[in-house]
Amino acid sequence: MKTLWIAQRAAWVLGSMAGVAAGGVLAADAELESVTVTATRVEKPAFAVPAAISHTELRRDTIGVNLAESLAGIPGLLARDRQNYAQDTQISVRGFGARSTFGIRGVRIYVDGVPATQPDGQGQVSQINLASAASVEVLRGPYSALYGNSSGGVLQVFSAEGVGEPSVRLDIGGGSAATRRLALQSDGSSGRWGYNVGLSRFTTDGSRGHSAASRNSAQLRLTARLRTRDRLALSYNDFDAPDAQDPLGLTRAQIDADPLQSAPTALQFNTRKSAAQRQGSLLYDLGLRESDQLRLMLYRDARQIEQYLAVPVATQADPRHSGGVVDLGSWFDGGELRWSSAHLIAGINYDALSQHRRGYENFIGSALGVRGALRRDERNQVAAFDQYLQVSADLGASWSAGGGLRHSLTRLDSSDYYVRAGNGDDSGRVAYEATTPVASLIWHLAPSLNVYAGYGRGFETPTLTELAYRTDGNAGLNLALRNARNDSFELGVKWRGATGRAAELAVFRADGRDELAVASNVGGRTTYANLGATRREGAELGVRWPLSVQAGIALAGTWLSARLPNGQRIPGVPGQSLYGDWHWENVAGWSARLEGRWVGAVSANDAGTASAEGYAACDLALGRRWRAGEWTVQSFLRVENLSDRRYVGSVIVNEANARYFEPAAGRTLWLSLSLVSR
């Protein structure tokens, strides 16, 4: 019934817009927005893409540490800042990725065209240097399947291009919970070469007990125009986050009593995580002929994680247990070769991951939260080889069609070096293979109105993290896990009016099989299992509407029904979410932004017996910009959670000790001053 209701409303909107267009209200010479996007591997205006895709500039009136700060206004996407820098931001697209207890799964991440997602599907965004980043693209729906594994959505971050005279930007900010940020960014060009460098330092005591953290980030990007149509880009990224304290989740009783406390076991075991990552990449575009281009992309990435968990000492007495300290070293690299012409794109990807996973006891005698005896030692390797083909065709003046096919083969091999009495050799190997088709059709109903439909078949392999623990308690990888598969359908309409007005509506449905879901979550150890049939269906709406030269509003709404085989809601997925933004800036440099968001209730476990209630909150930012000699000075005051409301910001799905809830911060203040030379 919900699907029928959504389809009826979509048909009503489409019919209404078509009638308006036929009546001439939508003028043929309307001023159309021409933001160019690349997520479908074809550079064209987002308005002309037969898929739900959003482009947004990175916000400069926020703290500038969490990518979630710039993603709130994108329909269909939910980005949760967990107030816990030992864990990454939770990002889900139309319900895909919501099960993640840390890191990002089900959504592929790219930075400047280079993967930030490992070949097993595990991704991170904490290492992205926001000082040098400029914009974000988010692709949702069927076309995501052309990116292969973990195809619930695609998120791409782009750095600012180094062009023109050299520019320097210095950001200094501070606020609640002894939070501090210092960032330096510079870009420019000389001759054929351009550069963009960003450095940042962030520290905080945290909004909860036992949640202090620090982050250091640096990125250098060099670009060169070697010939008329040839372009070279070299990038290096360095990220370090030592000893970020983990306050863990809270039970219902704990969060009701004091939402800003840490779990008692967090203090007992001094739970914390250190992460460091370094990546280098090369991207070369070779212009062959007027419409032909060859792209070569190569990258190398190294990530090191050390995490201390709150696993009880008695639990580790089992000789099969892998301990309470995780020592994880990952090295992944790969490349892509792609040929593009006017209507045809063909490419191959090869990505490899070598991961050394060791586990240690988190105690020595009576001392807790220290590295003890070795309990796990294995080498895991993943190799992914993909081939893809995309086509597009104009079917007359008013219709265009597109499609594609991708074949993916992922092989995993595990070698166990920890063989003891009661803990045998757990080596093993497994392979995952899938072919994923995509098809689309777009009707250019009027110069300012497009209607499109799309279909795609996606799949998701288990990540090494999801394979790390077996559900029966034995040691070794859970090699019984299977691919998750889904068939995704989408119908959408895009309208662009004069003076920047725009509206988009999409209705969608994704039917899944063998969904990967949390089976248990005990003491920081999460196990996974395959479910039966699942369904995600709903609608999303985005509106941008200038009210005058100085002011405008933006709205983003998502309605989503995501169900497990037992009929319960998929944990971590709200049924509704709504975001509203009013912004204003005058010629004298004064500015203001008022943001409001409403998020519906969220289930915390598969049984549906625990949930976090919905909430409404708002933020306010006031700013001033002026000239001081050769510099432009920008300052702003930001107040988040203006009403100081208590609510659950995110949930830890299926946490076995019922510590599901991660509280949002109360009212927080942030004051920032920026100096810009250009």
Q: Residue 252, class by beta-carbon neighbours within 10 Å (0-12 exposed, 13-18 middle, 19+ buried)?
A: middle
pLDDT in tens, 368-388: 999 999 999 999 999 999 999
For the residues of 206-255, what is the DSSP string, one character each? -SSTT--EEEEEEEEEEEEE-SSS-EEEEEEEEEEEEEEE----B-HHHH
Entry field: residues in the chain: 678
Report the distance separating Cα 168 and Cα 677, nearest Å. 5
Averaged pLDDT for residues 617-628: 96
Report the distance separating Cα 326 and Cα 362, nearest Å. 9
User: What per-residue confidence (pLDDT) applies to 87?
Assistant: 87
Lowest mean pLDDT among 91-105, 236-250, 544-558, 591-605: 91-105
Confidence of residue 28 (pLDDT cuts 50, 70, 90): very low
Domain ranges within the chain, ordered by starting residue:
2-676
User: What per-residue confidence (pLDDT) applies to 7?
Assistant: 42
Residue 21 scores a pLDDT above 60: no
Averaged pLDDT for residues 243-258: 95
**Residue whose structure tokens are 């594609």:** 404
Residue 18 scores a pLDDT above 50: no
Task: Report helix, strand or coil for 500.
Answer: helix
pLDDT in tens, 164-216: 899 999 999 999 999 999 999 999 999 899 999 999 999 999 999 999 999 99
SS3 of 62-98: the string is: CCCCCHHHHCCCCCCEEEECCCCCCCCCEEEECCECC
User: Who wins on pLDDT, 21 or 335?
Assistant: 335
Alpha carbon of residue 532 to chain centroid? 26
- Asked if 482 contacts 548 with a C-beta cutoff of 8 angstroms, the reply is no
Residue 340 scores a pLDDT above 90: yes
Report the distance separating Cα 528 and Cα 515, nearest Å. 10
| Token pair for 523 | 């003491």
Q: Strand runs (DSSP E) across 255-292, as ranges?
A: 272-287
Averaged pLDDT for residues 493-510: 94
Fold of 2-676: Maltoporin; Chain A (2.40.170)
Report the distance separating Cα 116 and Cα 110, nearest Å. 5
DSSP code at position 423: B
pTM above 0.85, yes or no: yes
Residue 8 scores a pLDDT above 60: no
Report the distance separating Cα 365 and Cα 371, nearest Å. 11
Report the distance separating Cα 650 and Cα 72, nearest Å. 15
> What amino acid occupies position 637?
L
Averaged pLDDT for residues 328-349: 94
Of 599, 603, 613, nearest in space to 256 by CA: 613
